Amino acid sequence: MPTAPEQHVPISLHQAAESLNQEQARLFADWLRLMNGSGVPYVVSGAFALCAYTSIWRDTKDMDIFLQPKSLKPALEIMAKAGYETEITDTHWLAKVYQRPYFMDLIFSLPSNLVRIDDEWFTHSRPLEILGVSTRMVGPEELVASKVHVARSDRFDGADIAHLIRSQEGRLNWARLRRILGDDTILLWHLLLFNFIYPGHTDWLPQDLMVELFDKVRTTWKTPGDPAIFFGAAIDPHRFAVDQERWEYRNVKPSQPLVNEKGEAL
């Protein structure tokens, strides 16, 4: 029997938090209190931030936070001291804190390595309360940026981006988002996708910016660059592996480890 499609019903963050079971709620609140007490700069992302901005809630077994590579080791140490299992899942971007079946993702980069988590992610964060704990969530521009390159065959975050633009009625700092991404073509792609999804809300799009980006793209058509340059791995490293292995395209910015196996920034 086919699996029923996931339903997303508008819900407040308070209602979403109330939907968690007792053990999950206790864990998430404890993890937030520990992070607050650690003095490590961090921001909440994932399902909680998306719900706060869009009112869309997805049942989740994890909590996502963003922090910088230099903050990973002290964050892991305070969690381990509190008795939680910790793991550096990928030295390029991800560590985890467990009390199974629940976990917290400590994200210190993004898988594509094309977007950097810098001080502005904390400067532009916004206040949030989750389960009675005061914290801060990632800004809407950074949340969009974190989802832009997620376009794999098994997961596509384009709907989240469209919902975020809709929730802000287009009132995003487009110049800052453009600076965070460092790539105009993929931003234009998502703006066009929003235009397709919400033709009645085209006034929420940065139309002057889109014209500028169109002109920039057209200029590149006249003078193509190095034919070996390739960005496919930033979208889906598995589906586009054949391009590098068989056809010798060159990944423009291959992912590099940002921490060692102890969680220390490199």
DSSP structure string for 135-166: EEE--HHHHHHHHHT-EETTEE-HHHHHHHHH
**pLDDT score recorded for residue 89:** 97
**pLDDT score recorded for residue 93:** 95
One DSSP character per residue, 169-237 reads TT-S-HHHHHHHH--HHHHHHHHHHHHHH-GGGGGGS-HHHHHHHHHHHHHHHHS---TTEE-HHHH-T
**pLDDT score recorded for residue 58:** 86
Compute the CA torsion angle 19, 25, 28, 31 (nearest 10 deg). Answer: 160
Q: In which residue are the tokens 């009390």 written?
A: 99
Buried b or exposed e, range 218-242, using 16+ CB within 10 angstroms: eeeeeeeeeeeebbbbbbbbeebee
pLDDT at 11 over 80: no
Q: At 190, list the tokens.
A: 């998502």
**pLDDT score recorded for residue 146:** 96
Residue 74 C-beta-side C-alpha neighbours within 13 Å:
14
- Name the DSSP letter for residue 263: S
pLDDT at 261 over 60: yes
Q: What is the pLDDT of residues 146-186, one digit of tens each?
A: 999 998 888 999 999 999 999 999 999 999 999 999 888 99
152 forms beta bridges with 155
**pLDDT score recorded for residue 237:** 87
Q: What is the pLDDT of residues 99-121, one digit of tens each?
A: 999 999 999 999 888 889 999 99
pLDDT at 4 over 50: no
Query: Quick one: which of 220, 145, 226, 224 has its CA closest to 186?
Result: 145
Compare 254 and 157 and report the one with higher pLDDT: 157
Over residues 6-21, mean pLDDT? 75
Q: How confident is the model at residue 144 (pLDDT cuts 50, 70, 90)?
A: very high
Q: At 264, list the tokens.
A: 């220390």
Cα angle, residue 64 at apex, residues 161 and 66 outer, rounded to 5°? 85
**pLDDT score recorded for residue 1:** 40
Q: Mean pLDDT across the chain, nearest whole number?
A: 92
Q: What is the pLDDT of residues 195-231, one digit of tens each?
A: 999 999 999 999 999 999 999 999 989 888 899 989 8
Rounded CA separation 117/109 (Å) = 6
Positive or negative, the CA dihedral 266, 258, 225, 147 is negative
Q: How confident is the model at residue 265 (pLDDT cuts 50, 70, 90)?
A: very high
**pLDDT score recorded for residue 60:** 87
Q: How confident is the model at residue 52 (pLDDT cuts 50, 70, 90)?
A: very high
pLDDT at 19 over 90: no
One DSSP character per residue, 61-86 reads SEEEEE--HHHHHHHHHHHHHTT-EE
Q: How confident is the model at residue 49 (pLDDT cuts 50, 70, 90)?
A: very high
**pLDDT score recorded for residue 8:** 53
